Amino acid sequence: EAGVAQSPRYKIIEKRQSVAFWCNPISGHATLYWYQQILGQGPKLLIQFQNNGVVDDSQLPKDRFSAERLKGVDSTLKIQPAKLEDSAVYLCASSLTPGLGTDTQYFGPGTRLTVL
């Protein structure tokens, strides 16, 4: 079974530039999550999608971060404009539809963003 795919794996940009990350969840997984992990800390949820609808975006800095999940499969997370404090690993995870078995979250390898 293919896992969660993310690209790019690494990205270096200057502050005030924009950047986008892509995620392809495990086939059949209706729920998709984006996490931000700052060095030395645990991952923090940014946004959660159920199919193509947003379930939880309470911790997403909406003035600069946006995310979409068109057609309920792939997802893109964008930062515009980037700040130095956005340097982190951005993790995508997916899980089955809640209520259909234990919704174990499967994580991708992450995208490491460095903002200079």
Chain residues in the site for another protein (CB under 8 A) = 4, 31, 33, 40-45, 48, 50, 55-56, 91, 93, 95, 97-110
Q: Which residue number, 14 or 56, has a Cβ lying nearer to another protein?
A: 56
Q: φ and ψ at 37, to 5 degrees?
A: -125, 105
In sequence order, which residues have a C-beta less than 8 Å from that of residue 100 and are 6 or more positions away? none
CB of 87 to another protein, least distance (A): 16
The nearest distance, CB 97 to another protein, in angstroms, is 8
CB nearer to another protein: give 17 or 98.
Answer: 98
Q: Quote the least distance from Cβ 40 to another protein, whole Å.
A: 7
Q: How far apart are CA 38 and CA 42, in angstroms?
A: 7
Q: How far is the CB of 81 from another protein (least distance, A)?
A: 27
**CB under 8 Å to 42, separation ≥6 — which residues?**
none
Cβ nearer to another protein, comparing 81 with 109: 109
Nearer to another protein, 27 or 104 (CB): 104
For residue 12, give the amino acid letter. I
